A and B are shown apart, each in its own frame.
Chain A
């Protein structure tokens, strides 16, 4: 059974549809990342699922129980959905222990063993229980917020950009701890983010929200390798776009004759490659295409190299840092794996 099933969900603010027919099906135990640019409606979607605001149309069902439908709005306190807001939002007047036990029935709020267990679940020592929220670092606050959300044992936990306020080093560490805690608790989770790398690395599945609709929902590998359209390809990572001509499952373009992912009708197409698919090779290699390096942006572990091909087309390649060429150098390129073809 689906932990969360959303159908035709619409929410308007002042006549503008922020959500315009969202369809989403989250299987039990999955961690689904909702990826979207700012203004795509991802936070609104989350607030509707929590029950903070009523929907204008469509339905939301939790574990098969309808909680939002025309004429039905189960209020937030009765939904039992865990919620971790941006920057944690710990109750500043309560200790860590009182924050974690906030949603528990009165008698269990003093159960130290249970609080210690919850803290351990999110990777914090039980000694943190007595501390005040303001004495914790951002990442620790975020973990306490997750422990608080998990305490009443919700079937579904919603996380709203939980790592955006943390600096880079802390972010990776907190991300790992949060993912581990969610899996250990066996909760289904929905994580809202605008960070592609975060969505791809954390989610069992990623749903991309665009103009108030789910434009594509897929596992991270499929989303990255086979985006539904050119705009989606650019949104989830850097894309090299080249015009080409498809014949019998292969396409001719400025980089030579490329294999295509999936069946494609013969005719003109737009081809999409990821920069890391383009390698620098020796001139002697079969099918190598020549070009001149125009610009190199060196990142250390790798470098982004822009190459002008013989026909004037410009492609970007991601090469290992140790093999980074210099601007003006003549190089030879070859393509690994298949290209994705879109209608031109």
Chain B
């Protein structure tokens, strides 16, 4: 293997390890006695209860709902199921803090646990629905038919044959929901529900006890990495189960009969709450004069354009950098699998367990102490984006490169095309659309990112996300609305583009 490739592939994973190790060092650096004093206090216990309670409630709700959606869309004669299949994934396009802003501006009852639970569940149920639906599509109907031939009723077949096969997808999705509950910051801050992330932010903003924040960040990091490890273990077993993929018959779809209306309600009500309500609320507030807000702030076209411009340019630069770092790693994983590729890939995936607030604080701290020039610089913010979204980019880049059959590269080499000619004439044209999708995914994620942007953006840089944050924090709902509208439109449009591409690829 060319050493240059290995070195290039290692840059991303090393970047990911940087904030994780820095957080560990900050938290444990001052000695065990001070760590213990900061760790075993009622605040940490209260936060644990708060966070874990919410996590459990969200996992459960998203698990039940995602399983139901997947089964209804894939296995029943649900009216309009093609449309539902797309709509059920759409809530992912609504940034949770925009949803949080919508709920809290509707009524103050949604402040606290109820709102937090609703926002996370409604936004992240697709994380369960998507893998469950895919797993249902991959099941061999012959297994269910065999079970029925052995005398099992439909319900028992579901419990004893279908559900066990869905377990990896279901549990894996639920653990991703748990992970996202742990790392969410913006929505909880707006809904005034105290979790680790909001408390870390508060400690960072108010006090100057860096170590207290670091110890909390450390606990949060441990919880996240634990979730990630569980998710990996669950998915790892799933790989075993996939033996002998062949063409399969479509399974029989269940006639819903008089259950049709309740079945539609299971999809329609949560989607209305997760998709229509935030969009409608944002639209409503844009029609209100800014003066109607509790604390009016002047929103001129100039500020809106400036915020849109900085969001777009940061998203462009961020996705460019992230995909650039992911390319050698994805190539290594797709083409030269082995111990090194696995190690680097797993190191990059650690970033999934690194909350934005932890990464931002660690990078900020490192810059202040060791590289003052980078403090409050765009470069540092871009590095944070690259760390947070590297796993996303690596998965997409690797999938894109795996689209290029190995035999095609072999043929090209036998025809005298090596190195750049091979990349330019074969790999890029074939993997190009997939690489574009990878960049688009990161682009959407960066343009809706709040936490790291809030903490690391250079003074004077205002993005759509930070403008919404600033206005909503002062209850200026109408003032926040134009930014929220632009951001949601951007996000929906990119998601639509991606979904169209994925559906087209699925049809081919």
Contacts and interface: CB of A to CB of B under 8 A. Distances in A.
B410 A91 contact: no
Given A89-B405, A92-B430, A93-B430, A152 B416 contact: yes
B408 interface: yes
Contact of A89 (B411, B418, B429): B411
A81 B413 CA distance: 10
Contact of A83 (B405, B414, B426): B414
Interface string B399-418: 00000010110111111111
Interface string A127-164: 00000000000000000010011011000001000000
Nearest to A86: B407
A319 interface: no
A103 interface: yes
A52 B413 contact: yes
B408 to A, nearest CB: 5
Nearest to B410: A52
B418 A75 contact: yes
A77 interface: yes
Contacts of A102: 411-412, 415, 417, 425
Interface string A73-87: 001111111110111
Interface string B228-244: 00000000000000000
Q: In the complex, which range does the number of interface residues on chain B fall in?
A: 10 to 19
B231 to A, nearest CB: 30
B407 A148 contact: no
Contact of B416 (A80, A85, A87, A145): A80
A153 to B, nearest CB: 11
Interface residues of A, number: 28
A89 B408 contact: yes
A89 B413 CA distance: 13
Interface in B472-502: none
A9 to B, nearest CB: 19
B417 A103 contact: yes
A89 B407 contact: yes
Contact of A77 (B407, B416, B429, B430): B416
B407 A81 contact: no
A317 interface: no
A76 B414 contact: yes
Given A91-B426, A92-B430, A93-B429, A76 B407 contact: no
A315 interface: no
Contacts of A85: 407, 410-411
A91 B414 contact: no
Given A83-B410, A85-B410, A89-B408, A148 B415 contact: yes
A77 B411 contact: no
Contacts of A82: 414-415
Contacts of B412: 91, 102
Contacts of B425: 102
Contacts of B415: 77, 82-83, 102-103, 148-149, 151-152
A50 interface: yes
A77 B410 contact: no
A76 B410 contact: yes
A87 to B, nearest CB: 8
Nearest to B419: A77
A155 to B, nearest CB: 13
A218 B273 CA distance: 77
Contacts of A87: 407
Interface in A64-119: 75-83, 85-87, 89, 91-93, 102-103
Contacts of B410: 47, 50, 52, 76, 83, 85, 89
Nearest to B418: A77
B480 to A, nearest CB: 45
A52 B418 CA distance: 11
A79 B425 CA distance: 19
Contact of B414 (A81, A86, A93): A81
A33 B412 CA distance: 24
A77 B413 contact: yes
Select the residue from B405, B411, B413 with max chain A CB neighbours within 10 A.
B411
B430 A76 contact: no
Interface in B411-461: 411-418, 425-426, 429-430
A94 to B, nearest CB: 8
Nearest to B403: A92
Nearest to A91: B408
A158 B410 CA distance: 12
Contacts of B429: 93
Contacts of B414: 50-51, 76-77, 79, 81-83, 103, 149, 158
A76 B413 contact: yes
Given A85-B411, A89-B405, A93-B430, A103 B418 contact: no
Contact of A148 (B411, B416, B418): B411
Select the residue from B410, B414, B429 with max chain A CB neighbours within 10 A.
B414
A52 B417 CA distance: 13
A138 to B, nearest CB: 15
B405 A75 contact: no
Nearest to A52: B410
Nearest to A80: B416
Contacts of A103: 414-417
Interface in A286-344: none
A4 B169 CA distance: 52
B410 to A, nearest CB: 6
B387 to A, nearest CB: 34
Nearest to B413: A76
A54 to B, nearest CB: 12
Contacts of B407: 85-87, 89
A102 B145 CA distance: 50
Nearest to A151: B415
Interface in B375-418: 405, 407-408, 410-418
Interface in B12-36: none
Contacts of A51: 413-414
Contact of A75 (B411, B413, B430): B413
B4 to A, nearest CB: 16
A328 to B, nearest CB: 41
Nearest to B428: A93
13 contacts: A47-B410, A51-B413, A75-B413, A76-B414, A83-B410, A83-B415, A85-B407, A87-B407, A93-B429, A148-B411, A149-B411, A149-B415, A151-B415
Interface of B: 405, 407-408, 410-418, 425-426, 429-430
Interface of A: 47, 50-52, 75-83, 85-87, 89, 91-93, 102-103, 145, 148-149, 151-152, 158
Given A93-B429, A103-B416, A151-B415, 7 more contacts: A50-B410, A76-B413, A82-B415, A85-B411, A92-B430, A103-B415, A152-B416
